[in-house]
Amino acid sequence: MPLDSSTYALAHLRVDGRRWKELRRIHGQMSTQAAADGSSYFEMGNTKIICTVLGPRQPTKSGGRDQSREAIIEVEIGVAGFSGMDRKKRSRNDKRTQEMQYTISSAFASTVFTSQYPHSTITIVLHVLSQDGALLAACINAATLALIDAGVPMQDYIAACTTGSTASYASNDEDADPLLDLNGMEELELPFLTMGTSGGEDKVNVLVMETRIQMPRLEAMVSVGLDGCKQVRNILDGIVREHGKKLLSSR
Amino acid sequence: MTSLKRSYASSTTPSTTLSSKTYLRTLRSGKVQKVVRELYLRQDIPCSSQLCSTCIDLAPAGFHGKQDPPVLSATPAGTTQYPQGHYLVPDTNAFLTAMDLFEAEDAARDVIVLQTVLEEVKNRSLPLYHRLIALTKNEGKRFYVFFNDFRLETYVTREAGESINDRNDRAVRKACSWYGSHLQDAVKARQSARCPAVVMLSDDRENLRKAKEDGLIASGLQDYVSGLPDADRLLDMVAASRDQRATRDEKAKMVYPEYMSMSAMLTGVKAGSLHQGTFSVSPYNYLEGTVHVPAFDRPLIIQGRENSNRAVSGDIVVLEVLPKDQWKAPSSKVIEEDDLTKNENAENEDESAEGVVTEKERRALQEEVKRAHGKVAEGKPQPTAKVVGVIKRNWRQYVGHVDKDSVRSEAKQSRAQQTVFLIPMDKRIPKIKVRTRQAGDLLGKRVLVTIDSWDRDSRYPVGHFIRSLGELETKGAETEALLLEWDVQYRPFPKSVLDCLPAEGHDWKVPADTADPGWKGRRDLRDLLVCSIDPPGCVDIDDALHAKLLPNGNFEVGVHIADVSHFVKPNNAMDKEASLRGTTVYLVDKRIDMLPMLLGTDLCSLKPYVERYAFSVLWELDQNADIVNATFTKSVIRSREAFSYERAQLRIDDQSQQDELTQGMRHLMMLSKKLRAKRMAAGALNLASPEVRIEAESETSDPVDVKTKQLLDTNQLVEEFMLLANISVAGKNYSAFPQTALLRRHAAPPKTNFEELANQLKVKKNLELRSDSSKALADSLDTCTDPSDPFFNTLVRILATRCMMSAEYFCSGTQAYPEFRHYGLASEIYTHFTSPIRRYADLEAHRQLAAAIDYEPLDASLQSKSKLEAVCKNINVRHRNAQMAGRASVEYYVGQALKGRVLTEDGFVMRIFSNGFVVFVPRFGIEGLIRLRDLGGGKEVESVFDAEEYSLSFGERKVELFEKLKVRIEDEAEEGTGKRKIKLSLV
Ligand SMILES: [Zn+2]
């Protein structure tokens, strides 16, 4: 039994040795699959995602003609059976997966210039290879990279991260520190929220919280989350620029 | 609103190095998981020594800008070995074997707890882990947790082929060597002279050897403690070390069978071939234990040491049922440990060499078996079982005394180490073997010990002394002993708790100005004629009552309860302390409060003639005492009078008193009788338990006489309205918080519980006891009378009480509604609301009710089911312990009151064994065993025991169950131990 998050107060160190405001190691690559219109591979700690983007293109489904004036963003998430600690197959109709799909789709609908592609569909396919917390955030970041790779015009990146609080809901610990970027073990023990912003920290596109938290602690969490998203955005930006340089030099 | 946009990235982002660790973990279900985790190694973890200036600003501040000050003293204490001062770095086993030493107030300061060690301690023992965590929070002890596995320089990867233990030992050595050189640099930078030694504490020889090789300072536990002042006392706190055990192992003979592996047990329990339950030892026969398992109605019986295989009463064990030819009837004989094993020698176990079972024990058991076999034809052999493993030990600290016969040399000055037996007060706990150098000093004292281990090669568990409580039989020592034995927190409230009290102290008053925030949401009930009725001398007045006739012929009745939740806010230090204590404990001459005196006896207490905050339940009751409506409100009241039960009774009976207050009390009396009649008709049980009052001379508090408590109508008056309030509040809280209401239930007893008693009544008195419902039971209890003896009915009720389940607190979300039922009160829902000064459950109910009536929002801790469950679990235990401690205190005082006296009293036979019988003496509420051997002057008497007829004949005399007889009561100081006991004998 390794130590759990209750030992944070002893030395202000988290279960994996980080301080409260530190992100995990983030690694990303673009254009990982040549066959897709756009693709990326993204890691936040041990959470690993492959993302491919198809489109914009005409809807494949036959039947009623799509009369919409804007592109539809479809999201498919596949969670590999080996990705979690328990070997468990999640079905495509899993409630949580569906909810994540919807969240990601509506987040990008607010930043992609969908009106430029009426009657068409943009499909984002996410494969979760490994899960260790911040699943939704990592999916959003991976999708951002893949959309950029696909050349889909959008206002700005959506960069996402999670924030939590060191004290569990029921204890009224005044000194609770907010925590940036929880890993899987922390997510099981602590209250947390997922946040995605664009334009650095100007616009909040995603804010999801499924655990309970006392109101007074929320402010600190949101504040740390905004700053975390800005850090993630800088990292994403670095990855994009690096990729761009490589493209230019290979010409 | 301030902007949420802030930048937190530190100016000098610390560099971290990423590593990872992978390990396998076995789940309870037997599944194996592979866990991969990242590790961020860093260099900003301080050494936390006040000597070091480089580490001071090393650790980044927390979100609130707080930074932890360095923990370890710049001038740590020196010893003979380390005169320059030293920091201790204990390894895992040091903490496991000597936690008491580390907790000792005058030893072991400036300790570095390594992360590696903390993790291992957690793996090995959760209770010890929690004690260690508590130590790190104790500022005076200066324990610092150094996260060595996160610091780059001290991180150690496990090498191929290296065992986890070896890797951890290496990590401890590496941390020591880092600390050593780091401190040296720090001292050089300060140019001061004293550099404290970093001492690694370990009992692992290999580890010590390697440490010496690496040039580290290392010491074995024993060696280290020997160098401290007062070493003898401290040495006793160190459990027999691995080293000593190792040398014994070579020649040791295994006297107990080996336990099964945990996974084999779990699989067996799952498959149904093995059974799991809590081991409990019979108070009459220390060689017989019983375990209730879900698979059977009746408990499984475990007879003999070999079958109980090192299980101690309270452990959670796994059992295997023995083949049917070994099934037995439960023992009909009293067997006490001191009788059979009196002359054993604690020192030389192998020489006595009789294996697990001594010859005498074997003989005693043999007789049992013979008897059981003879009886098989008539048939009630019950399944027996043997213990094949222990899931969880429930060892605690035990109070007892040193067995005089086991002490080799009594000379006080003898400092030779010897092994002695400690006899626990609790008869169900076996003797404990303890090594000590203070045997001479400890003789005749009450001492506190703990069990460390019980290995296969040892007939008795091995433990160590913690401290002495004082001379046997002195009031101080005996009181502390029973408080410790029942785990009652009796230390004075710490400052942090007292800081939560209102600053005005005793001058606090209900604000005169009704615009004050304290009045918000409160009803002004000061004009009501409220009074309180309590036992004489009661100072913590929880409740007060009033009643008045309404114009429509109905009655307005109010129960007003002290508004404790106004003063005790959730989750502050005072609330935490109260939730830990759970209840006030009443001893004969002492009260151990749940809340500080200022609240309990003054600010909350509904004293007469002053205004107090209250939480009121107001009903409109009709002439039949049916509820027309009920309202709940926070209020301000002014009690007109505080009555004792007797004075209230006199006032009600005195027809010359016609004032409004007395009239109100008469209304209350009339209504309470109707309420009671309704409850009884619904099947509420009227159970008796012998309650004894001790009369003491006030100044010396030496007991003078013992009297059985008297019940007056006014007692019942108060009780009825308290029940009514509790039931009303329970319903209200449950409707507001269906998942998290704190309630109290009393499960219906399983039918088999009453079988024995019903049979006894049938055989001896031709009476029928029915137990199919509480109503049937209540009715048939009424018929169990003996015209020639009015006490017989009470005796039956006492016996019936013992067949009941105990009531318990629970969180409403954990049970289905039908399970809420309170069997004894015949109410479908119940809670405790009326005594918040002395019960934590009531305080929680107050908070829930306050939220239910929208007086204030509900605290988060009361919305979490898991938190509430933990609270319930704790207060259930505390409640039971408080009752037991109270009972033990009465017992002690009855003993003291009878000291030096010889009395002849009426007694009733309540249980018959083949070699003795138990007699209950109503006047003192005591029961005692009369053994045939004592009647025969030390020799067993020829006797005939008839288990079917519940009788025992010896000589001319025949003793039958329920028989009334005269007994002589005297007190007797047991030889050998000097323990005072009440002795009954037949006249
Ligand atoms: Zn330092």
The pLDDT assigned to A170 comes to: 57
Domain of B255, CATH number, reads: 2.40.50.690
The pLDDT assigned to B474 comes to: 81
pLDDT digits (tens, 9 = 90+) for B590-603: 889 999 999 988 89
| Containing structural domain, residue B961 | 898-986
> Could you tell me the residue ranges of all domains in chain A?
13-250
CB A136 within 8 A of CB A210: no
Q: Which of B101, B69, B74, B71 is nearest to B85 (CA)?
A: B74
Residues with CB under 5 A from ligand 1 (ion): B 47, 52, 55
Report whether pLDDT(B812) > 60: yes
**pLDDT-based confidence at residue B282 (cuts at 50, 70, 90):** confident
pLDDT digits (tens, 9 = 90+) for B837-860: 999 999 999 999 999 999 988 888
CB contacts < 8 A (A, B): 119
pLDDT digits (tens, 9 = 90+) for B534-591: 888 888 899 999 999 999 999 999 999 999 999 998 888 899 899 999 999 988 888 8
The number of folded domains in chain B is 5
Over residues B340-366, the mean pLDDT reads: 53
| Any domain includes B780 | no
Distance from CA of A187 to the nearest CA of B (A): 14
Over residues B790-811, the mean pLDDT reads: 85
Q: Which of B395, B281, B420 is nearest to B337 (CA)?
A: B281
Query: Which candidate from B36, B40, B861 shows the least CB-CB separation from A46?
Result: B36
Among B885, B916, B932, give the residue marking a domain's end. Answer: B885
Chain A positions with Cβ closer than 8 Å to B: 1-3, 7, 10-13, 15-22, 24-25, 45-46, 85-86, 132, 169-172, 175, 177-178, 180, 183, 185, 201, 212, 214, 219-220, 222-224, 226-227, 230-231
Report whether pLDDT(B247) > 50: no
Residues B236 and B380 in one domain: no
Residues B323 and B429 in one domain: no
Ligand 1 centroid from CA B51, angstroms: 8
Residues B404 and B288 in one domain: no
Over residues A38-65, the mean pLDDT reads: 83
Residues B389 and B405 in one domain: no
Of all residues in chain A, the one with the smallest CA distance to B151 is A17
Residues B296 and B362 in one domain: yes
Residues B75 and B155 in one domain: yes
The pLDDT assigned to B797 comes to: 84
| Any domain includes B167 | yes
Residues B725 and B864 in one domain: yes
Ligand 1 centroid from CA B10, angstroms: 21
Report whether pLDDT(B453) > 50: yes
Query: Which candidate from B5, B122, B570 shows the least CB-CB separation from A201?
Result: B5
Query: Which candidate from A1, A11, A170 shows the least CB-CB separation from B864?
Result: A170
Long-range (24+ apart) CB contacts under 8 A made by B3-6 are: B4/A219, B4/A222, B4/A223, B4/A226, B5/A201, B5/A223, B5/A226, B5/A227, B6/A223, B6/A226, B6/A227
CB B47 within 8 A of CB B146: yes
**pLDDT-based confidence at residue B373 (cuts at 50, 70, 90):** very low
Over residues B203-229, the mean pLDDT reads: 87
Query: Which candidate from B5, B9, B63 shows the least CB-CB separation from A226?
Result: B5
Of all residues in chain A, the one with the smallest CA distance to B18 is A25
Among B349, B374, B394, give the residue marking a domain's end. Answer: B394
The pLDDT assigned to B352 comes to: 40
Domain A13-250 class, CATH top level: alpha beta
Of all residues in chain B, the one with the smallest CA distance to A7 is B133
Residues of B in contact with A19 (CB under 8 A): 14, 44, 60
Residues B624 and B559 in one domain: yes
Residue with the larger pLDDT of the pair B12 and B712: B712
Burial of residue B954, with CB atoms counted within 10 A of its CB: 0-12 exposed, 13-18 middle, 19 or more buried: middle
In DSSP terms, which residues pair with A53 in a beta bridge? A38, A124
Over residues A220-225, the mean pLDDT reads: 91
Residues of B in contact with A81 (CB under 8 A): none
Interface residue of A1, A44, A190, A195 to substitute, partner B, most B CBs within 10 Å: A1
Determine the number of helices (DSSP H) and then strands (DSSP E) in chain B: 28, 37
Over residues B269-275, the mean pLDDT reads: 86
- Which tokens is B331 given? 């023992």
The secondary element (H helix, E strand) that includes residue B558 is strand B555-562
Helix (H, G, I), strand (E, B) or coil at B958: strand
| Any domain includes B236 | yes
Query: Which candidate from B8, B40, B42 shows the least CB-CB separation from A227?
Result: B8
Residues B215 and B259 in one domain: no
Interface residue of A5, A6, A20, A22 to substitute, partner B, most B CBs within 10 Å: A22
Report whether pLDDT(A140) > 90: yes
* Radius of gyration (C-alpha) of chain B in whole angstroms: 32
Ligand 1 centroid from CA B166, angstroms: 27
The pLDDT assigned to B939 comes to: 67
- Could you give the maximum distance between any two Cα atoms of chain B, in Å? 98
Residues B294 and B407 in one domain: no
The pLDDT assigned to B368 comes to: 57
The pLDDT assigned to B557 comes to: 94
Question: Which residue, chain included where needed, has tokens 């114009």?
Answer: B551
Among B372, B394, B416, give the residue marking a domain's end. Answer: B394
Over residues B674-683, the mean pLDDT reads: 89
Of all residues in chain A, the one with the smallest CA distance to B861 is A170
The secondary element (H helix, E strand) that includes residue B908 is strand B902-913
Partner-chain contact B38 A214, CB within 8 Å: no
pLDDT digits (tens, 9 = 90+) for B66-76: 778 888 888 88
| Any domain includes B832 | yes
Helix (H, G, I), strand (E, B) or coil at B935: helix
Partner-chain contact A46 B38, CB within 8 Å: yes
Residues B259 and B341 in one domain: yes
Burial of residue A151, with CB atoms counted within 10 A of its CB: 0-12 exposed, 13-18 middle, 19 or more buried: exposed
Partner-chain contact B145 A7, CB within 8 Å: yes
The pLDDT assigned to A2 comes to: 66
Residues of B in contact with A134 (CB under 8 A): none
pLDDT digits (tens, 9 = 90+) for B84-131: 889 999 999 888 888 888 888 778 889 999 999 999 998 888 878 888
Report whether pLDDT(B403) > 90: no
Domain of B933, CATH number, reads: 2.40.50.140
Distance from CA of A205 to the nearest CA of B (A): 16
Ligand 1 centroid from CA B177, angstroms: 13
Residues B602 and B636 in one domain: yes
The pLDDT assigned to B351 comes to: 39
Of all residues in chain A, the one with the smallest CA distance to B26 is A1
Give percent of chain B with pLDDT exceeding 70. Answer: 86
CA angle (A205 as vertex; A203, A208 as ends), nearest 5: 125
Over residues B150-169, the mean pLDDT reads: 89
Residues of B in contact with A45 (CB under 8 A): 38
Partner-chain contact A175 B864, CB within 8 Å: no
